[in-house]
Amino acid sequence: MIVLGHQNPDCDSLCSAIALSALFNKIGKQATPALQGEPNPEALFLLQKAKLEKPKILSSVAGEDVFLVDFSDWGQGTLDMKEAKILGIVDHHKLGDITTNEPVECWIWPVGCSATIVYNMYKFYNQIVDGPIAKLMMGAIISDTVNFRGPTTTDMDKEAVKGLAKIAGVEDVQGFAREQFEAKSDINNVPAAELILRDQKIFQMAGHKLAIGQLELTDLKTALSKKTQMIAELEKLQAEKDYHSSILLLTDINKLDTIALIISIDADKVAQALNSKVKDHTFELPGVVSRKKQIIPFLQTAFDS
């Protein structure tokens, strides 16, 4: 069985794939974690801190038994994923469009991170998380909840980090988080083409495709200095993929605000759905940090109406 995270792997998709595979192996189900591409710098930082190897990268899963983590949409899987046998899903996002011919195991909870669900699966199966993997999972939850400051944070996420930190031997969780976010925010030498794809996800809305990426940074100065280049790359992407909208969310995780860059066939519709206005391919989203909770539901409503 392959445990597979979504495209453009972030901390949660990488760490939860590793952690869930380890759990399955503990209970006698042979499993291997896999990624769809290179993990982002923050995820690589966590691998380095945990001293664990990067999982294999797959572009094809046809004919394989697959358990999905951190997504439930066909569009976030491999091009041939419909030719695989989906055995189950662990996710903390809204239920996507994946359907199966047989019943599957689903753990879809309204928490801040898929790793929180995996942590509770360990408890359900009376298993202990290995120390290095506990460090990965702790980092994934810190990332997805913006160190418990994001609107998706739950008490279950906080309890999970408390338990995982103890297992991992991390006494200074806040210091760990600061170091992790510094790794995430180092974009000085990263090309604009890479930045717009770093955490991009494709969403289907009323027959349209919207590509929405997000950069979570400790400040936006460096990102905004690359605005012209990133807008140009969004225009190229829009032309190549025929999206309704190509959006990049620049999120300041200290101020808890977002500035969005957009190329769209109807940018005003997108911005208005989020109570904002577009100027020079840009609109401001004060108080917004969560794509899952503060962006997608409002866009979905606007496109469905």
| The residue count for the chain | 305
Residue 178 pLDDT exceeds 90 = yes
The confidence score (pLDDT) of residue 199 equals 87
Per-residue pLDDT reduced to its tens digit, 262-284: 999 999 999 999 999 999 999 99
171 vs 10: CA distance, rounded Å = 24
116 vs 289: CA distance, rounded Å = 19
- CATH number belonging to domain 2-183: 3.90.1640.10
Half-sphere exposure for 114 (CA within 13 Å, toward CB): 28
218 vs 147: CA distance, rounded Å = 12
118, 19 in Cβ contact below 8 A? yes
255, 287 in Cβ contact below 8 A? no
CB burial of 154-176 (b: ≥16 within 10 Å; e: otherwise) equals: bebbeebbebbbebbebeebeeb
Per-residue pLDDT reduced to its tens digit, 22-51: 999 999 999 999 999 999 999 999 999 999
Residue ranges per domain, the chain? 2-183, 192-304
223, 258 in Cβ contact below 8 A? no
Task: Estimate the crossing angle of helix 11-26 against helix 41-50, to 10 degrees.
Answer: 40
Per-residue pLDDT reduced to its tens digit, 117-140: 999 999 999 999 999 999 999 999
Confidence of residue 198 (pLDDT cuts 50, 70, 90): confident
Confidence of residue 78 (pLDDT cuts 50, 70, 90): very high
55 vs 39: CA distance, rounded Å = 10
Which residues, in sequence order, are CB contacts of 25 under 8 Å at separation 6+? 31
Q: Which two three-digit tokens encode residue 140?
A: 């994934």
Place of tokens 């717009």: 196
| Structure letter (DSSP) for residue 279 | B
- CATH number belonging to domain 192-304: 3.10.310.20
Q: Which two three-digit tokens encode residue 225?
A: 């200095």
Sheet holding 85-91, edge to edge: 56-57, 32-36, 2-7, 65-69, 85-91, 105-108
- What is the mean predicted confidence (pLDDT) over 10-19? 97
Confidence of residue 186 (pLDDT cuts 50, 70, 90): confident
53 vs 46: CA distance, rounded Å = 11
The helix/strand/coil state of 53 is coil
Residue 172 pLDDT exceeds 90 = yes
Confidence of residue 162 (pLDDT cuts 50, 70, 90): very high
In the chain, how long is the greatest CA-to-CA distance?
56
How many Cβ atoms from other residues are within 10 Å of residue 58's Cβ? 16
The confidence score (pLDDT) of residue 305 equals 81
Q: Which two three-digit tokens encode residue 213?
A: 């990426």
Confidence of residue 19 (pLDDT cuts 50, 70, 90): very high
CA dihedral 260→152→75→272, nearest 10 degrees, is: -40
